[in-house]
Structure 1
Amino acid sequence: MGTSIALFGAGGKMGFRLSKNLLASDYGVRHVEPSPAGRQRLKDELGVECVDVDGALDGAEVVILAVPDTLIGKLAHEIAPKLKAGTMVVTLDAAAPFAGHLPKRPDLVYFVAHPCHPPIFNDETEPEARRDYFGGAFAKQSVVSALMQGPAEAFELGEDIAKTIYAPILRSYRLTVDQMALLEPGLSETVCATLLDVMREAMDEVIAKGVPPAAARDFLLGHMTILSAVIFKEIPGQFSDACNKAITFGKPRLMRDDWKQVFDREEIAESIRRIT
């Protein structure tokens, strides 16, 4: 049996995915799940029996906190006194570490790993992989990781764990915690999720003005594909003069001049404060 891992939140939305992938690895995993429903699901679907906190932490070399951002700080401080020096604590998001919610324990290793999710443009051919939009099951996805504190050689173990829990992996990137915070919530949520939500509202608006719903959906999603392929240089090509004029007019109509300030460190910090 390989490195021992205590997995907290093992039966939750994200923890269950991790539990399933870790079962296929050489890691020795102790599963902790407070929810009766979560424990039952682990038992029924994966044949996993959960253990109590002390049993999970006894001799654990790695602790993975697969719990909501709002609970990371509380849980980390509760278990910190039970962790021996050199233990690696893994979080699945940069928010709590960025906000300073982890205990001041310089003798612990802090590692952050987050999935990129399967890309829109991919070479998946199997039906299950083509429908795996989240990743961690059938479709390949990339992963970003950061060694927040600890010896340089600890990154290798953290990255291997990241590749295991988010498999199958396309590419693996090493970043800093600050860079990960720029990606999420900055790039992926504040910008991407917001603009996609606006696009959905726009689709609903043209439907309200009489366009058949199915036609509006097919038209928007189809144009998202080709426009994205050109904008992100997936294919060679350029927009028509009419499209370029629409962008020139539309961008100031839709976006504030100072919108890129969402990536200022103070803005990122405030966004994370709201999240955590």
Structure 2
Amino acid sequence: MKEKIALFGAGGKMGVRLAKNLLKSDYRVSHVEVSQTGQQRLRSELGIECVSVDVALDGVDVVILAIPDTIIGKIAAEIAPKLKAGTMVMTLDAAAPFAGHLPERPDLVYFVAHPCHPPIYNDETEPEARRDYFGGGAAKQSITSALMQGPEEAFDLGEAVAKVIYAPILRSYRLTVEQMAILEPGLSETVCATLLQVMREAMDETVRRGVPAEAARDFLLGHMNILGAVIFNEIPGAFSDACNKAIEFGKPRLMQSDWIKVFDRAEIADSIRRIT
């Protein structure tokens, strides 16, 4: 018989995505959702009825915490005494585990699984897949997983569940929890999201200075496409001398000289502490 999964936060935005994919699997799934709105959403969109915590945890093999980072520690501490040895507790982000918010239960398995989201450069041809920017629906995406604690053979179960909840899958990578924390919040949020926000503000400034809004948007997104293709080796090519000069003088104007320190463990820990 397939493993039993308890999905906490099943009626939230992420929870519903996971619940939808789990319906396509052979896993036995119990859904836990505290909000009336979330319960109604599951009922109306997926025909799913929620159960109590005790019912969900009875004989459970894997507990998925699709809940905010700020309450993972609280919920994990509440349910841990009800879990039998060997039960897997899966989080969808490395922040809370990295920060030490999971309870001291060496007999439990702690697993982290996080999606990469569909890549900008892909081979999707169907319109629905091309518009699936988040993943877990129509577009293929890669995933990252980490076995934080537990026997080595537990990784296979965790990865199998991760491949279901984030399907369709492009590639699957095994990392450590610390490596996952370097990727997020380090690479994806502190660096990528910040610089993208700066680019949006720069685009808005060009509009303020008189460039038509649609022209500014088309110009920026088009250049992001071709410049990114060169930088990330999607195509062979090199920047012009003029572009290289702009980068040479633009980078120190925009970036502090020690910006790379955002990847230092202490800075990653500080960032996660703020998040959680």
Q: CA deviation at 1:258?
A: 0.3
Deviation sequence 1:40-98 (CA, Å, 0-9, x none)? 11111111110000000000011000000001000000000000000000000000000
Q: Name the counterpart of 2:226.
A: 226
Q: Name the counterpart of 1:29.
A: 29
Corresponding residue pairs, total? 276
2:241 aligned with 1:241? yes
Q: Name the counterpart of 1:56.
A: 56
Q: Name the counterpart of 1:167.
A: 167
Deviation sequence 1:135-170 (CA, Å, 0-9, x none)? 000000000000000000000000000000000000
Q: CA deviation at 1:105?
A: 0.3
Question: Counterparts of 1:34-49 in structure 2 under 5 Å?
Answer: 34-49=34-49
Question: Counterparts of 1:189-228 in structure 2 under 5 Å?
Answer: 189-228=189-228
Q: Secondary structure at the match of 2:48?
A: coil
Q: Provide the rounded CA distance (Å) in 2 between the counterparts of 1:45 and 1:101.
A: 33
Q: Name the counterpart of 2:130.
A: 130
Q: What letter matches 2:188 in structure 1?
A: S
Q: Name the counterpart of 1:81.
A: 81
Q: Name the counterpart of 2:15.
A: 15
- Structure 1 moving runs of 4+ over 6 Å: none
Q: What letter matches 1:244 in structure 2?
A: N
Tell me the TM-score normalized by structure 1.
Answer: 1.00
Q: Secondary structure at the match of 1:196?
A: helix
Q: Provide the rounded CA distance (Å) in 2 between the counterparts of 1:44 and 1:218.
A: 39
Question: Counterparts of 1:74-113 in structure 2 under 5 Å?
Answer: 74-113=74-113
Q: What letter matches 1:148 in structure 2?
A: M
Q: Provide the rounded CA distance (Å) in 2 between the counterparts of 1:95 and 1:45.
A: 30
Structure 1: tracts of 5 or more residues without a match: none
Q: Provide the rounded CA distance (Å) in 2 between the counterparts of 1:239 and 1:162.
A: 39
Q: Name the counterpart of 2:120.
A: 120
Q: Provide the rounded CA distance (Å) in 2 between the counterparts of 1:239 and 1:26.
A: 51
Q: Provide the rounded CA distance (Å) in 1 between the counterparts of 2:13 and 2:48.
A: 16
Deviation sequence 1:107-147 (CA, Å, 0-9, x none)? 00000000000000000000000000000000000000000
Q: Name the counterpart of 2:176.
A: 176
Q: Secondary structure at the match of 1:139?
A: coil
Q: Provide the rounded CA distance (Å) in 2 between the counterparts of 1:111 and 1:80.
A: 14
Q: Secondary structure at the match of 2:100?
A: coil
Q: CA deviation at 1:2?
A: 1.0
Q: Provide the rounded CA distance (Å) in 2 between the counterparts of 1:19 and 1:257.
A: 45
Structure 2: tracts of 5 or more residues without a match: none
Q: Secondary structure at the match of 1:219?
A: helix
RMSD over equivalenced CA pairs, Å: 0.4
Q: Name the counterpart of 1:257.
A: 257
Q: Provide the rounded CA distance (Å) in 1 between the counterparts of 2:10 and 2:57.
A: 14
2:141 aligned with 1:154? no
Q: What letter matches 1:206 in structure 2?
A: T
Deviation sequence 1:227-254 (CA, Å, 0-9, x none)? 0000000000000000000000000000
Task: Report the more deviating stretch, 162-171 or 40-49.
Answer: 40-49
Q: Secondary structure at the match of 1:31?
A: strand
Q: Secondary structure at the match of 2:90?
A: strand
